[in-house]
Structure formats: C-alpha cells, structure tokens
Amino acid sequence: MPQTAGAADAARIMREAIALHQQGRITEAERGYAEILKRFPNHPGALQYLGVIHSQKGDHAKALELLDRSLASNPRSAAAHYNRANILRDMNRPEDALRGYDDALTLDPKHVSALINRAAVLRSLERYADALGSYDRAIAIAPNEVNAHHGRGIALGELSRHDEAIAAFDRALVLSPAKAELLISRGHALRSAGRHGDAARDFLRAITSDEKNANAYAGLASTLMELRHFSHAVESYDKAMALDPDWIELNYGRSSALIELRRYEEAVAGFCKLLALRPDYPYASGMLVHARNISCDWSDPGAAADLIARVRDEKKAASPFAMLEISDSPPDMQQCARIVMRDKFEPGH
C-alpha cells in the first residue's frame, strides 16, 4: 500500500512538473523532476524531462546522460528517442540524430515533430531530396502543419524547384499569414525565380509583421540591389546591421551598393572591415581593389599583385570584372572566369 501511494504521489508531482515546464517555469519544473528521482531513481519520465531541461540550459552532455538512463528504463518510449535525437542534433551529431529520429518513428510512425526535425537535419546535410520525403510524410499526417510546409519550401528551393517552393510557402502562409520568417523564405524563393518586385513586397510585409527582424531588412536590401535601387538598399542594409551588429557579411552588399552610388571611401571602409574579420570572404578582396582603383586610392601598392596570386592559387578572390582592371593576362582572366563559373553555376557549389 505505501508503494502504491508513493507512486500515485509521484504521478501527481510529475503532472505538476510537466505543467510548469510547459509554462516555461523551468526551475520549479526541475525541482519536481528531481523530487521524483529521489524516490524513484530510474523513473523514465522524470529522467527524460530533466534531460530536456539540461538541454535547454545548454548542458548537452548531462542531458544525453539522463536520456540514456531514461531509455535504459523504458526503451520503447518514442518521446524519449525523439528528445534524445534533438540533443544529438544540438551537439552537432547529425547522423546520430537521424538514427534517433528513425528510432522514434519506428515506435510511432505518425510522430510529426520527429519527421519535421529529421527533415531539418537532412537539410543541414544537404540531402534535400531525402528531406523533402520526410516533409511529405509529415504533411500526409498533419496537412495543416505550418513548419512542414515551410521546411518543404526551403528544400524545394535548394533543389532549384522554385515554383514548387513558392507554392509550398503559399500554403504555409494560408495557415499563418503574418509569419515573418515565412514571408522572408518566400521572398528568397521569388528572388531565385527572378520575381524581384514580388520578392521586395514580401520582405516589406515581413518588416511590417516584425520590424525588428534583421533577415527581412537584409532580404529587402539584396532584392533592391537586383532592382538597382542602390540608395534604398544601403538604407535597408543599415537597418539590418543596426539590428544585428555581428552580421559583418552584410558589409559586402552594402559596400557594393556604395560603389554604385560613387561613395567610394565608404565602400573601401566597408570592404576593409569585412576583410579584417573574414580575410577569405569570397570576392571581397577584388571588390576592395576595384573600389580603391576607381577612387584613385593607391595606398596599398601590393594589393593587385596579391590578388593575382590568389586567383592563380584558385581562390575566390575576384570577379572577372575586377580582375580586368589589374591584369591583361589571358591565362589569369581564364582562371578567374573558371573559378567564378565553378562557384556560381556548377552543381554542389
């Protein structure tokens, strides 16, 4: 009788702890799980959810240890396999994470979250066709799952199936019309399809939905570059960089726009800032040399020779246009063109 009463009390504490966990009251939930484990050290549920809390805190090693103990106690828990796979994903162990999601799906083939997270890991491995299959399975089970349609659109875009990607984002937006990240993804797909005006409208809608979203401003800036609205592009780059000062890569697009506006000194400063932090940033060295040349800035006399050497070493250092300013060697120009063609147009690049 006492054991039965103890188990009933543990079940009550477990329900309360899960409710607290769902409300984001992590510290209180953790105390509840720990209290259960004092009485029942191998309680699979308490071990599992305490592991999830450690994962949320960034202690993935401890989280994995707790999930392993939970599965040793109850190996047929699809939820535990799923949460363990999420931890492995966060530990940058994608192949192990995939096996974990597959284990969860063996026990529960209709585990939609496992299918969606599995697809996201496949995308990270650039296995886009496999990811698409996982998203399709999720949608067959849960047709109104926004994240599945969103992820499916991203996978289709990576497969250069842009019209299908746009259709997938359209479906997701029917389900969640004002979601900024969906609008941003659809904007990128529209850009890839050459529909720059429509893309700009989506990025503007995303900004209206979330005015603090740096990705929306960056997407708009890139689209405005395609539309040759360079002054507005600089404004959008500035807003993106104000929201995310660590996004130093935006200096490339912003500085390129400044060249078009003949604001050469600012362009030089932007490329210098980028290269100070990312010395091998593709084509930035060539753009810096270009910006200095057209502004009659001869402060770095060795830059041209260094750029030619890097191109000869098969580095993505300069565009053919920038190379033309510093070399009249046909072999150098051919090498530069080959690098760009391989980078921009060959599969896998």
Per-residue pLDDT tens for 270-295?
A: 999 999 999 999 999 999 999 998 88
Mean pLDDT of 292-304: 85
Whether the predicted pLDDT of 3 surpasses 70: no
Whether the predicted pLDDT of 302 surpasses 50: yes
Per-residue pLDDT tens for 96-126?
A: 999 999 999 999 999 999 999 999 999 999 9
Cβ–Cβ < 8 Å for 254, 238: yes
Q: Taking the complete model, does pTM exceed 0.85, yes or no?
A: yes
Whether the predicted pLDDT of 348 surpasses 60: no
DSSP letters for 111-179: -HHHHHHHHHHHHHTT-HHHHHHHHHHHHHH-TT-HHHHHHHHHHHHHTT-HHHHHHHHHHHHHHSTT-
Separation between Cα atoms, residue 67 and residue 122, nearest integer Å: 23
pLDDT band at 297 (very low <50, low <70, confident <90, very high): confident
Per-residue pLDDT tens for 168-177?
A: 999 999 999 9
pLDDT band at 1 (very low <50, low <70, confident <90, very high): very low
Per-residue pLDDT tens for 224-275?
A: 999 999 999 999 999 999 999 999 999 999 999 999 999 999 999 999 999 9
pLDDT of residue 340: 87
- Cβ-proximal residues to 11 (8 Å cutoff; 6+ apart), any chain: none
Mean pLDDT of the chain: 93
- State both tokens at 73: 């106690």
pLDDT of residue 66: 97
Q: Which residue has the higher pLDDT, 349 or 289?
A: 289
Query: For residue 4, how far is the Cα from the chain centroid?
Result: 49
